[in-house]
């Protein structure tokens, strides 16, 4: 099955084509190519880059068997652009979507077992914190929250903490918390995790696909404050 995977959650993003071997034990996935996306212009780049990537490998949109998309947390604008594009394509083609949390993907990227805490910089002195229990290839979510840095360090104590952000590693180290550095998550890695979800039926329709912002938007905060 051909998978199209996208990540527009951060300052920079990526798209990937991957081939999933439906007959292989364990759900083997071959990442065909990952293409980076420059931040700030996702809306202009995303669809042309998808078309170009498909054409480069002699595929058309009709060859896509399923979609994988980073659902958050991250940039409100970036996530909206990415999810809107995948919603439209999935609706036209009638294909399933696997929505993947970047925090969950970070946990699997670390390759560790047991209780794992993933940390992503949220700006404004805050951290996205995902707590999971990992056993083999299965991941059980315990909580995903937005915390102040000091709260995040306290929450991460007693579990193995991972992040791809060197700034967070240094800040945590200064606070006496050891955090393991993992490779940055890209669309290729999301494709592998998304295929696991597709195999067990953890998919959504275009109408059901929603962003996992964790943080409320400024518009929501200001609206609540004026009510």
| pLDDT for 62 beyond 80 | yes
**CATH code linked to domain 2-102+185-226:** 3.30.420.40
Q: Domain coordinates of the chain in residue numbers?
A: 2-102+185-226, 103-181
Residue 226 has what pLDDT? 43
pLDDT in tens, 191-225: 999 999 999 999 999 999 999 998 754 333 334 44
Residue 222 has what pLDDT? 36
Residue 219 has what pLDDT? 38
**CATH code linked to domain 103-181:** 3.30.420
Task: Please choose, from the candidates 185, 160, 167, 218, the residue with its C-alpha nearest in 3D space to the C-alpha of residue 70.
Answer: 185
Entry pTM:
0.89
DSSP 73-140: SS-HHHHHHHHHHHHHHHHHHT--EEEEEHHHHHHHHHT--EEEEEEEEEETTEEEEEEEEEETTEEE
Task: Please choose, from the candidates 110, 56, 111, 67, the residue with its C-alpha nearest in 3D space to the C-alpha of residue 208.
Answer: 67
Task: Please choose, from the candidates 26, 28, 36, the residue with its C-alpha nearest in 3D space to the C-alpha of residue 1.
Answer: 28
Q: Which residue has the higher pLDDT, 136 or 99?
A: 99
């Amino acid at each position: 099955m051909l998978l199209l995977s996208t990540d527009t959650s951060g300052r920079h993003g990526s798209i990937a084509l991957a081939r999933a071997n439906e007959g292989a034990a364990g759900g083997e996935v071959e990442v065909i190519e990952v293409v980076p996306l420059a931040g700030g212009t996702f809306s202009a780049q995303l669809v042309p880059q998808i078309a170009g990537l498909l054409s480069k490998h002699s595929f058309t949109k009709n060859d896509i068997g399923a979609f994988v998309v980073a659902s958050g947390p991250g940039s409100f604008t970036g996530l909206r652009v990415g999810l809107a594009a995948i919603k439209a394509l999935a609706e036209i083609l009638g294909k399933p979507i696997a929505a993947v949390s970047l925090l969950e993907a970070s946990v699997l990227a670390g390759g560790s077992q047991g209780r794992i805490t993933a940390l992503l910089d949220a700006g404004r002195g805050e951290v996205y914190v995902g707590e999971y229990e990992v056993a083999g290839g299965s991941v059980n979510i315990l909580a995903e929250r937005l915390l102040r840095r000091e709260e995040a360090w306290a929450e991460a104590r007693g579990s193995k903490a991972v992040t791809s952000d060197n700034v967070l590693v240094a800040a945590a180290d200064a606070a006496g918390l050891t955090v393991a550095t993992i490779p940055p998550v890209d669309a290729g890695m999301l494709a592998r995790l998304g295929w696991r979800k597709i195999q067990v039926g953890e998919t959504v329709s275009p109408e059901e696909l929603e962003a996992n912002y964790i943080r409320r938007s400024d518009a929501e905060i200001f609206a609540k404050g004026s009510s």
